[in-house]
Amino acid sequence: MGYSKEKLNEEKVFKDPVHRYVHVRDQVIWDLIGSKEFQRLRRIKQLGTTFFTFHGAEHSRFNHSLGVYEIVRRIVDDVFCGRPEWDQEERLLSLCAALLHDIGHGPFSHSFEKVFNLDHEEFTKDIILGNTEVHRILARVNNEFPEKVAEVIGKTYKNKQVVSLISSQIDADRMDYLQRDAYFTGVSYGHFDMERILRVMRPHDDQVVIKHSGMHAVEDYIMSRYQMYWQVYFHPVTRSAEVILTKTLHRAKHLYKQSYSFKTPPVHFYSLFENKPILKDYLKLDEAVVLYYLQMWIEEDDSILKDLCSRFMNRNLFKYSEFDPAKEYKKVVRLSELFKQAGIDPEYYLVVDSSSDLPYDFYRPGEEEERQPIHLLMKNGEIHELSRESDIVDAISGKRRTDHKLYYPLDFIMDDRSEKSVKKQICALLGLQKEEK
Amino acid sequence: MGYSKEKLNEEKVFKDPVHRYVHVRDQVIWDLIGSKEFQRLRRIKQLGTTFFTFHGAEHSRFNHSLGVYEIVRRIVDDVFCGRPEWDQEERLLSLCAALLHDIGHGPFSHSFEKVFNLDHEEFTKDIILGNTEVHRILARVNNEFPEKVAEVIGKTYKNKQVVSLISSQIDADRMDYLQRDAYFTGVSYGHFDMERILRVMRPHDDQVVIKHSGMHAVEDYIMSRYQMYWQVYFHPVTRSAEVILTKTLHRAKHLYKQSYSFKTPPVHFYSLFENKPILKDYLKLDEAVVLYYLQMWIEEDDSILKDLCSRFMNRNLFKYSEFDPAKEYKKVVRLSELFKQAGIDPEYYLVVDSSSDLPYDFYRPGEEEERQPIHLLMKNGEIHELSRESDIVDAISGKRRTDHKLYYPLDFIMDDRSEKSVKKQICALLGLQKEEK
Amino acid sequence: MGYSKEKLNEEKVFKDPVHRYVHVRDQVIWDLIGSKEFQRLRRIKQLGTTFFTFHGAEHSRFNHSLGVYEIVRRIVDDVFCGRPEWDQEERLLSLCAALLHDIGHGPFSHSFEKVFNLDHEEFTKDIILGNTEVHRILARVNNEFPEKVAEVIGKTYKNKQVVSLISSQIDADRMDYLQRDAYFTGVSYGHFDMERILRVMRPHDDQVVIKHSGMHAVEDYIMSRYQMYWQVYFHPVTRSAEVILTKTLHRAKHLYKQSYSFKTPPVHFYSLFENKPILKDYLKLDEAVVLYYLQMWIEEDDSILKDLCSRFMNRNLFKYSEFDPAKEYKKVVRLSELFKQAGIDPEYYLVVDSSSDLPYDFYRPGEEEERQPIHLLMKNGEIHELSRESDIVDAISGKRRTDHKLYYPLDFIMDDRSEKSVKKQICALLGLQKEEK
Amino acid sequence: MGYSKEKLNEEKVFKDPVHRYVHVRDQVIWDLIGSKEFQRLRRIKQLGTTFFTFHGAEHSRFNHSLGVYEIVRRIVDDVFCGRPEWDQEERLLSLCAALLHDIGHGPFSHSFEKVFNLDHEEFTKDIILGNTEVHRILARVNNEFPEKVAEVIGKTYKNKQVVSLISSQIDADRMDYLQRDAYFTGVSYGHFDMERILRVMRPHDDQVVIKHSGMHAVEDYIMSRYQMYWQVYFHPVTRSAEVILTKTLHRAKHLYKQSYSFKTPPVHFYSLFENKPILKDYLKLDEAVVLYYLQMWIEEDDSILKDLCSRFMNRNLFKYSEFDPAKEYKKVVRLSELFKQAGIDPEYYLVVDSSSDLPYDFYRPGEEEERQPIHLLMKNGEIHELSRESDIVDAISGKRRTDHKLYYPLDFIMDDRSEKSVKKQICALLGLQKEEK
Distance from CA of A260 to the nearest CA of B (A): 22
What pLDDT band is residue B46 in, cutting at 50, 70 and 90? very high
Domain at D3-234+360-397: CATH code: 1.10.3210.10
**Coil, strand or helix: which one is D16?**
strand
Of A187, A284, A292, the CB nearest to B15: A187
Share of chain D above pLDDT 70, in %: 97
Residue of A nearest to D14 (CA): A196
Of C58, C66, C291, the CB nearest to D288: C291
Alpha-carbon distances, residue B221 vs B156, B190, B193, D202 (angstroms): 26, 8, 8, 31
Res D145 pLDDT > 50: yes
Is the CB of A295 less than 8 angstroms away from the CB of B314?
no
Type and span of the H or E element at A21? strand A20-26
Alpha-carbon distances, residue B357 vs A321, B233, B399, B403, D183 (angstroms): 53, 10, 9, 9, 32
Instruction: Give me the pLDDT at residue B401, please.
Output: 82
**Residue closest to D175 by CA, chosen among D217, D207, D135, D138:** D217
Residue of C nearest to A390 (CA): C396
Instruction: Give me the pLDDT at residue D370, please.
Output: 61
**Contact call for residues B185 and A63 (beta carbons, < 8 A):** no
Report the residue count for chain A: 437
For the residues C312-316, what does the mean pLDDT come to?
Answer: 98
For chain B, the distance separating the N- and C-terminal CA atoms, rounded to the nearest angstrom, is 82
**Coil, strand or helix: which one is A99?**
helix
Share of chain B above pLDDT 70, in %: 97
**Coil, strand or helix: which one is D169?**
coil
**Distance separating alpha carbons of residues B21 and B70, to the nearest angstrom:** 8
Q: Which of A107-121, B361-375, C232-246 has the lowest mean pLDDT?
A: B361-375
**Distance separating alpha carbons of residues C35 and C31, to the nearest angstrom:** 6
**Contact call for residues B94 and B29 (beta carbons, < 8 A):** no
From chain D, the residues in CB contact with A195 under 8 A are 20-21
Distance from CA of C32 to the nearest CA of A (A): 35
From chain A, the residues in CB contact with B63 under 8 A are 55-56, 58
From chain C, the residues in CB contact with A217 under 8 A are 188
Boundaries of CATH 1.20.1250.30 in chain C? 236-356+402-430
Res A437 pLDDT > 70: no
Res B363 pLDDT > 70: no
Res D14 pLDDT > 90: yes
Q: Which of A76-80, A400-404, C422-426, D330-334 has the lowest mean pLDDT?
A: A400-404
Model confidence over C421-437: pLDDT tens digits?
999 999 999 988 754 44
From chain D, the residues in CB contact with A13 under 8 A are 199
**Coil, strand or helix: which one is D188?**
coil
Of D21, D195, D199, the CB nearest to A195: D21
Chain centre to alpha carbon of residue A181: 11
Instruction: Give me the pLDDT at residue D121, please.
Output: 87
Chain centre to alpha carbon of residue D423: 37
Res D78 pLDDT > 60: yes
How many CB atoms lie under 10 A from the CB of residue A210? 22
From chain C, the residues in CB contact with D184 under 8 A are 17, 184
**Distance separating alpha carbons of residues A38 and B155, to the nearest angstrom:** 44
Model confidence over A131-167: pLDDT tens digits?
999 999 999 999 999 999 999 999 999 999 999 999 9
What pLDDT band is residue A434 in, cutting at 50, 70 and 90? low
- Return the HEC string of chain C: CCHHHCEEEEEEEEEECCCEEEEEEEHHHHHHHHCHHHHHHHHCECCHHHHHCCCCCCCEHHHHHHHHHHHHHHHHHHHHCCCCCCCHHHHHHHHHHHHHCCCCCCCCHHHHHHHHCCCHHHHHHHHHHCCCHHHHHHHHHCCCHHHHHHHHHHCCCCCHHHHHHHCCCCCHHHHHHHHHHHHHHCCCCCCCCHHHHHHHEEEECCEEEEEHHHHHHHHHHHHHHHHHHHHHHCCHHHHHHHHHHHHHHHHHHHHHHCCCCCCCCCHHHHHHHCCCCCHHHHHHCCHHHHHHHHHHHCCCCCHHHHHHHHHHHCCCCCEEEECCHHHHHHHHHHHHHHHHHCCCCHHHHCEEEEEEECCCCCCCCCCCCCCCCCEEECCCCCEEEHHHHCHHHHHHCCCCEEEEEEEECHHHHHCCCCCHHHHHHHHHHHCCCCCCC
Instruction: Give me the pLDDT at residue A395, please.
Output: 80
Instruction: Give me the pLDDT at residue B120, please.
Output: 86
| Burial of C101 from C-beta contacts in 10 A (0-12 / 13-18 / 19+) | buried
For the residues D126-131, what does the mean pLDDT come to?
Answer: 97
Cα torsion at A100, A106, A108, A112 (round to 10°)?
-130
**Distance separating alpha carbons of residues C387 and C397, to the nearest angstrom:** 7
**Contact call for residues B58 and A43 (beta carbons, < 8 A):** no
Of D227, D392, D401, the CB nearest to B220: D227
Higher pLDDT, D437 or D216: D216
Instruction: Give me the pLDDT at residue A366, please.
Output: 54
Instruction: Give me the pLDDT at residue A399, please.
Output: 79
From chain A, the residues in CB contact with B43 under 8 A are 291
Residues C313-334, buried b or exposed e (16+ Cβ, 10 A)? bbbbbbbbbebeeeebeebbee
CATH class (in words) of the domain with range B3-234+371-398: mainly alpha
Res C94 pLDDT > 90: yes
Which residues are paired to D78 by β-bridges? none
Distance from CA of C79 to the nearest CA of B (A): 13
Chains with ≥3 CB–CB distances under 8 Å to C: A, B, D
For the residues B247-272, what does the mean pLDDT come to?
Answer: 97
How many CB atoms lie under 10 A from the CB of residue A305? 23
Angle at which helices C61-74 and C91-100 cross, to 10°:
160
Concatenated DSSP letters of A239-293: HHHHHHHHHHHHHHHHHHHTT---SS--GGGHHHHTT---HHHHHH--HHHHHHH
**Coil, strand or helix: which one is D187?**
coil
What pLDDT band is residue B1 in, cutting at 50, 70 and 90? low
Instruction: Give me the pLDDT at residue A364, please.
Output: 52
Residue of B nearest to A133 (CA): B314
Res D308 pLDDT > 90: yes
Instruction: Give me the pLDDT at residue D120, please.
Output: 86
**Residue closest to A255 by CA, chosen among A242, A265, A244:** A265
Q: Which of B304-308, C117-121, C398-402, D299-303 has the lowest mean pLDDT?
A: C398-402
Strand arrangement of the beta sheet that strand C401-408 belongs to: C319-322, C401-408, C351-357
From chain A, the residues in CB contact with D21 under 8 A are 195
pTM, 2 dp? 0.93
The conformation of residue A132, written as its DSSP 8-state character, comes to S
Cα torsion at D298, D304, D310, D311 (round to 10°)?
-170
Q: What is A3-233+372-398's CATH number, 3.40.50.920, 1.10.3210.10, 1.10.1740.10, 3.40.50.300? A: 1.10.3210.10
**Distance separating alpha carbons of residues A8 and A30, to the nearest angstrom:** 8
Instruction: Give me the pLDDT at residue B71, please.
Output: 98
Instruction: Give me the pLDDT at residue D367, please.
Output: 52
What pLDDT band is residue D419 in, cutting at 50, 70 and 90? very high
**Distance separating alpha carbons of residues C404 and A288, to the nearest angstrom:** 61
Residues B305-341, buried b or exposed e (16+ Cβ, 10 A)? bbbbbbbbbbbbbbbbbebeeeebeebbeebeebbee
CB pairs under 8 A between B and D: 50
**Contact call for residues A65 and A101 (beta carbons, < 8 A):** yes
**Distance separating alpha carbons of residues D392 and D397, to the nearest angstrom:** 9
Topology (CATH) of C236-356+402-430? Growth Hormone; Chain: A; (1.20.1250)
Domain at C3-234+360-398: CATH code: 1.10.3210.10
Q: Which of A1-5, D337-341, D414-418 has the lowest mean pLDDT?
A: A1-5
**Residue closest to C287 by CA, chosen among C123, C61, C53:** C61
Is the CB of D51 less than 8 angstroms away from the CB of C59?
no
Is the CB of D17 less than 8 angstroms away from the CB of C62?
no
Share of chain C above pLDDT 70, in %: 97
Instruction: Give me the pLDDT at residue C400, please.
Output: 82
**Residue closest to A224 by CA, chosen among A263, A264, A188, A186:** A188
Planar angle of CA B243, B249, B250, nearest 5 degrees: 85
